[in-house]
Chains A and B, each alone.
Chain A
């Protein structure tokens, strides 16, 4: 059971990183959802016993290698995100999909701001980021992704 959910989670992350690396047309670049953040949220909500804070370290380091950011940037933001998701897990349970999407939008926005700040703290040169669009795209994808994720986890692990 535990091994199964671990393998399932790993394959979710694999798909997430594939989507993250997918070349996008110029027009849609600003509209790329934060796939890994969404996958982490789904894993922490659905298998809280297995996927906890520790997930921030491998996923964050891989994300740093993928994006070319300073090592640790995404470990930091993911750790905060996972902590918040664990605190809000009951709300996620009672919210409907639209309310959930709004919550995801807020969390993703927080993640973007944290990433921006933490990098500015260290590197000291202003580097504009796409602050608004990725959280919005993430919120729009959330209902579908969440339903698929939950369906798969229930079907396979039940």
Chain B
């Protein structure tokens, strides 16, 4: 086939008597080469610097109408569903939600007492007070089709103040972080992605560890855990806030199994993520003071 391409090309170049709808220009090869070189340069720049972020942003604007049209069926389905639900269903739902609200308010009252107690204890320890986090509610619009990356798309973007590195939660715990921002949508890498790790600590005793994604939605792995570390099945792992990217104290996973193998330096610990990574549709973006920040590169890069 390739030789066919080449001979076809020389044929076009050498003899000028072919009747084609379009004569390939003599410099078309050079032009293609130039565009390719530019593209490769752009890829390199995009990989190392964030200069090209505005370009991605503008392309995102151009894509927005097509994405909206693609999601039209689900939007219409939701609308039909809402407008067709009967008065009785709505009343039922209302009653349920009221009851739930009551329970939550009761919990909130206890929380207020706990918070004041907590701040008193903090004052005793002269530690800095934790501020309340501001959140933005968002919903999931698509899942990345690539089976090797655990990423999702959400319907909030740069126009809503979303930024790269922003922590994302669902109702049960930490879900992941924003890795790409477009004007009206963003891409979130979930904690189960095999390129993702979170610094965690055991809620029971404060033992620190690092939870790495495995590529499977229902399993994280704790890496470099010494055989002597006090970690048990059923322990809740919360974010330790050490990397600076995630805030402290949000549930990440529950330890499912701890294996000590003779002759191995580290224990094999696997945990199940607290957030329902494959089910949650409503997510929360966290605006925490200092969240999403990473320490300056001099601290963590080699050269």
Contact = CB atoms under 8 A, between A and B. Distances in A.
Contacts of B182: 65
Contacts of A153: none
B28 A89 contact: no
A39 B52 CA distance: 26
Interface string A53-95: 1001110111011101011110110011011101111110100
B67 interface: yes
B28 A71 contact: no
B10 to A, nearest CB: 11
Interface in B156-211: 179-180, 182, 187, 195
B21 A75 contact: no
A20 B55 CA distance: 20
B59 interface: yes
Counting chain A residues whose Cβ lies within 8 A of the other chain, the interface size class is 35 or more
Q: SS class of chain B's interface: helix, strand, loop or mixed?
A: helix
A64 to B, nearest CB: 7
Interface in B1-53: 1, 5, 8-9, 12, 18, 20-22, 24, 28-29, 31-32, 35-36, 38-47, 52
Interface in A100-130: 106, 118-119, 121-123, 125, 127-130
B62 interface: yes
Contacts of A90: 8, 18, 20
Contacts, number: 135
Nearest to B189: A68
Contact of A23 (B5, B32, B74, B146): B74
Given A75-B35, A93-B20, A127-B149, 20 more contacts: A17-B63, A21-B66, A21-B70, A21-B142, A22-B70, A23-B70, A61-B55, A61-B59, A62-B59, A65-B182, A68-B187, A71-B43, A72-B39, A80-B36, A83-B29, A86-B28, A87-B9, A88-B5, A93-B21, A118-B43
Interface of B: 1, 5, 8-9, 12, 18, 20-22, 24, 28-29, 31-32, 35-36, 38-47, 52, 55-56, 59-60, 62-63, 65-67, 69-71, 74, 142-149, 151, 179-180, 182, 187, 195
Interface of A: 14, 17-24, 29, 32, 48-49, 53, 56-58, 60-62, 64-66, 68, 70-73, 75-76, 79-80, 82-84, 86-91, 93, 106, 118-119, 121-123, 125, 127-130
